[in-house]
Structure 1
Amino acid sequence: SPPPSYVAPETASHADVLAGGDAALGETSVPRITIHAFCVRPETSAMIEAAAADRRMARASTVVRTGGLDAAVDLYQNQSTPSLVLVESLDSAQRLLYQLDALAQVCDPGTKVVVVGQTNDIALYRELIRRGVSEYLTQPLGPLQVIRAVSALYADPAAPFVGRQVTFVGAKGGVGASTLAHNFAWSMSERMQSATVIVDLDLPFGTAGLDFNQDPLQGVIDALTQPDRLDPVLMDRMMVRCGDRLSLLAAPATLDQDYEITAEAFEEVTQKVRGAAPFVVLDLPHSWGAWTRKILIGTDDLVVVATPDLASLRNAKNIVDLVRQARPNDAPPRLVLNQVGVPGRPEIPVKDFGEALGITPSLVLPFDPKLFGQASNNGQMVAEVAPKSKAAEGIDYLAQLISRREAPAVQKTSMLSGLFRKK
């Protein structure tokens, strides 16, 4: 019997899918600041160390000390205070306020203070804020809560929003990662009705232009060769519209030049593109370098596309292990098993494949060369060719899962309305 069109992850709940707002936006990084943390409990010290090692804290310099508020007051008697002082206290509210007054006497102007306490008391919180404390956090506390609290303190209200970055990478060549990335971006814009940008980073062989039936004069290579000049106006010129809410930053897909682009240029461009739409989909080539590693580790959502064979399993495991080690505070990558059920081909069972990686596949797509081939040759998406197909249904499900929202309800129209559409 044919495999299922998609498999819901065991850890995903209906609430996860519906969670919108901040959960659907891109993560921002902590700027280049110095942070001193004064902890009382070893568990808090370990948690702050874990936060400091996170990818979003890479630019900050963090020093963790013991001793709590008393140690902070003693230290700053003889030296200047850093950008941010984080202090843990297990004392009563009265003692805490007394120690904070002492800390205020030795703090330099501009230093922000975050207090980690035990009491979840709104009156205490208001008093701390009144005294100039930037934030009050209560236990239990995790690394991500600390990172987001610090990020919020240094967020620039005038800065543009940061879109959520979703990166598709193939475990090996030919698994259909690019095709799925393009169809996913289309589903995000059409089904989820969210402005989306697809960025084709396979410079010599990218197929996004073909899949969307576009042949733009400018594209991602123009951005990568002049990243310092890339502003919203220039970016808009380089993109081509593929729909009301979908824009494409296409690859040149020619062999007329050698593409020697630095990792810093890729990082700068991909970060700037995140300000162009709520969702940015990166189509990563099946190659390896410093820039691909940075994108894999720095992206908000990583989708690994594989086929059920041994080479895909080995490569997917290498990618997943690398990312898990570098992103201990993030959810694991999402796994998509594609082209399942090729006639006559021995395959690793879906359950065994997922167990080997320690990941339940988010999506399992059956082998359907006629549908995908027709869509590719027509310069269309799968949902345009066969909107009720299992493949279209599965890709829409993946878009819903990653966007953390449900598709807007389709407005019902009169049966006669179609007769009056403009030709």
Structure 2
Amino acid sequence: MADNRALKEDFYDEDDPFLDASDVERMMLGEAAFDDLPEEADVDTGHRFGASAVELDDDDPFLVDDETDAHSAPMGDEAVDNPLFAELQSELETAPMGESLYGEIDSDVPDQPVPRITIGAFCERSETGALVSVASEDRRLSKAHVDVQMGGLPAAIERYHDETTPNLLIIETGMRGRGLFDQLEELAGVCDPDTKVVIVGATNDIVLYRELIKRGVSEYLVPPMTPLHLIRTISELFLDPDQPFAGKTVAFIGSKGGVGSSTIAHNCAWALTENLAQDAVLMDMDLSWGTAGLDFNQDPTQTLGDALSEPERLDDALLDRLLVRCTDRLSLFSAPATLDRDWEFAPQDYENVLEKVRRQAPFVALDLPHVWLPWVKQTLLSSDEVVLTVTPDLASLRNAKNLFDLVTGARPNDEPPKVVVNMAGMAKRPEIPLKDFADALGTPPVLVLPFEPQLFGKAANNGQMIHELDPKSKAADGFGHLASLVTGRTPPPPRKKSFLSNLFGG
């Protein structure tokens, strides 16, 4: 308290008619000396986190009218000198459970579950860690993977130097001023662009709040909090009714039948979830001949065909029953794979089902059949990423060229399809050189998989993925590389073994 008062005496003189609020802010952040402040200087925010979910507006409880003295309220405990901060603090101290600055939250917490996202919480106080743990057990977060650790901001920086960041980071810190922003700058440098960040601070601080939002932090929370308060915050970030959460779709299609597009899709989806620790749904959309159930050794009684038959009945509860968990992070929407009926559905039916599946996970892998129907074309062109699998022969090149031109022409503002050459180097088979493929399509392939019938055949017969069977194979590395390309995320570097672990075979 005394230190904050000294800070106020140094930087803030209520009788000084020439002191501007923005000048006070910059001095508190240690970004300018009192005597050499320019009239209009932008604060250098350095690295930014993902797009902030909170906009600065006149209705925000942390902001006040520019003409009031509250705009230049000093940091920390001195904020109580301001009538607005005193009122807010009083509300916080007297609010019953289930209420906060934001009003009653019991009735405002959405009933819809948060999607299958990953959440990393780094707390400084055991009480906050317990609160996050209690919140993670709520039904609304039942699909999310929540990891709670102590250590605050330094622990998060240390961990994510070696790992990919989750979809949401919750960081508790009691720091303020330059030290805090230096550490946030370091954290932003190791964060993936789409990671959202929520800061749990110690006090209501207008200067700190405004600067955090400038740097792309999604929300700033202050105690006291309840589990429902935290759940509501997370829900608002991922269940905005004006911008509903939608996972990224990756469509896999082959240039002709038998090129191995389904194998590429299944192994890439597995690598996406296991190597990059991202939740995903794999949709086998080849209703008559789909092999995803076989490849993952699953035999579900209800399939995608049931959802398409009555798409209007498909809600989150029914969808949970239709999806089959292959791993902790990968869910399968299997195809019926039967010939006892004709699977004829309108493109709108596929679109409606896909729209609901996209609310389930950050990534949705679409295993498309090699047929050319209106729904296939619509699904392909509306996907966020397209992976085109080819083999090095003339028919595949011709069809790939047609598909490539169609997709790039219809999606001028999107990346072109990512081309995967499969079964390259087959003995005694004449092949078109990869350079000719690249010249014809205007882009080189992102992945070339050698012809390895023993490895791929054994994996298919065992109901395993390539990485499970031979994690050191070139194919396993290739699928990990492809997963990184379609997600925009990089896998963590391999951890170096210590001398003792090498000595004892760890």
**Matched letter for residue 342 of structure 1:** M
2: distance between equivalents of 1:338 and 1:21? Answer: 35
Whole-angstrom distance in 2 between the partners of 1:175 and 1:354:
18
Residue 347 (structure 1) aligns with: 431
Cross-structure match for 2:399? 315
Give the aligned partner of residue 197 of structure 1: 281
Distance 1:250 1:270 in 2: 13
How far apart are the structure 2 equivalents of 1:409 and 1:219?
37
Asked if residue 365 in structure 1 is aligned to residue 365 in structure 2, the reply is: no
How far, CA to CA, are the matches of 2:50 and 2:474 in structure 1? 29
Q: Which residue of 2 aligns with 1:260?
A: 344
Question: How far off its partner does 1:415 sit?
Answer: 5.4
C-alpha deviations, 1:217-267, integer Å up to 9, x for none? 111111111111111111110010000100000001011111111111011
Amino acid at match of 2:342: D
| Structure 1 position 398 matched with structure 2 position 482 | yes
2:362 is aligned, of 278, 283, 297, to 278
Give the deviation of 1:279 after TM superposition: 0.4
- Which residue of 382, 404, 407 maps to 2:466? 382
1:184 and 2:257 equivalent?
A: no
Matching residue of 2:302 = 218
Counterparts of 1:152-163 in structure 2, within 5 Å, are 156-157=240-241, 160-163=244-247
Aligned residue for 1:169, secondary structure, equals strand
Aligned twin of 1:8: none
1:160 Cα deviation (Å)? 3.9
Q: CA–CA distance in 1 between the matches of 2:315 and 2:435?
A: 46
Measured against aligned partners, the alpha-carbon deviations of 1:141-179 in whole angstroms (never above 9, x if no partner) come to: xxxxxxxxxxxxxx9446541100000000000000000
Indicate the SS of the match to 2:419: strand
- 5+ unaligned residues in a row in structure 1: which ranges? 1-18, 23-154
Aligned pair partner of 2:253 in 163, 169, 190: 169
Structure number with greater CO (CA < 8 Å, separation at least 6) is 1
State the structure with more CA Rg: 2
Partners of 1:320 and 1:333 within 8 A in 2: yes
| Residue aligning to 1:28 | none
Q: Provide the rounded CA distance (Å) in 2 between the counterparts of 1:410 and 1:204.
A: 41
Spell out, residue by residue over 1:8-67, the C-alpha distance to the aligned partner (whole angstroms, 9 max, x if none). xxxxxxxxxxx9957xxxxxxxxxxxxxxxxxxxxxxxxxxxxxxxxxxxxxxxxxxxxx
Q: Deviations over 1:341-377 (max 9, x none)?
A: 0000000011111111112111111110110001000
Match of 2:387 among 286, 290, 303: 303
Match of 1:34 in 2: none
What does residue 163 of structure 2 align with? none
Q: State the distance in 2 between where 1:233 and 1:362 align.
A: 38
Deviation of the 1:334 alpha carbon: 0.6
Residues 268-290 of structure 1 deviation map (CA, whole Å, 9 limit, x = unaligned): 11121111100000000000110
Contact residue 20 and residue 405 of structure 1 kept, 8 A: no
- Supply the distance in 2 between the matched residues of 1:21 and 1:247 (Cα, whole angstroms): 27
C-alpha change, 1:288 and 1:250, in structure 2 (3 Å) is same
Aligned partner (choices 292, 306, 321) of residue 376 of structure 2: 292
- 1:325 CA displacement: 1.4
- Looking at structure 2, the residues matched to 415 and 204 of structure 1 have their Cα atoms a distance apart, in angstroms, of 50
TM-score under structure 1 normalisation? 0.61
What amino acid is aligned across from residue 223 of structure 1 in structure 2?
A: A
| Aligned twin of 1:329 | 413
Partner in structure 1 of residue 440 of structure 2: 356
Partners of 2:257 and 2:468 in 1: CA distance: 25
CA distance, structure 2, for counterparts of residue 354 and residue 228 of structure 1: 44
Q: Which runs of 5+ in 2 are unaligned?
A: 1-47, 52-238
Matched positions, count: 269
CA RMSD of aligned residues (A): 2.3
Q: Distance in 1 between matches of 2:432 and 2:493?
A: 38
**Separation (CA, whole Å) in 1 of partners of 2:320 and 2:368:** 21
Is the 8 Å Cα contact of residues 193 and 408 (structure 1) preserved in structure 2?
A: no
User: 3-state SS of the aligned residue for 1:339?
Assistant: strand
Deviation at 1:408, TM superposition (A): 3.4
User: For 1:247 and 1:410, how far apart are their aligned partners in 2?
Assistant: 26
Aligned with 1:178: secondary structure? helix
Given residue 161 of structure 1, which amino acid in structure 2 is its aligned partner? F
1:302 counterpart SS class: strand
TM-aligned CA distance change 1:264 to 1:408, over 3 Å: same
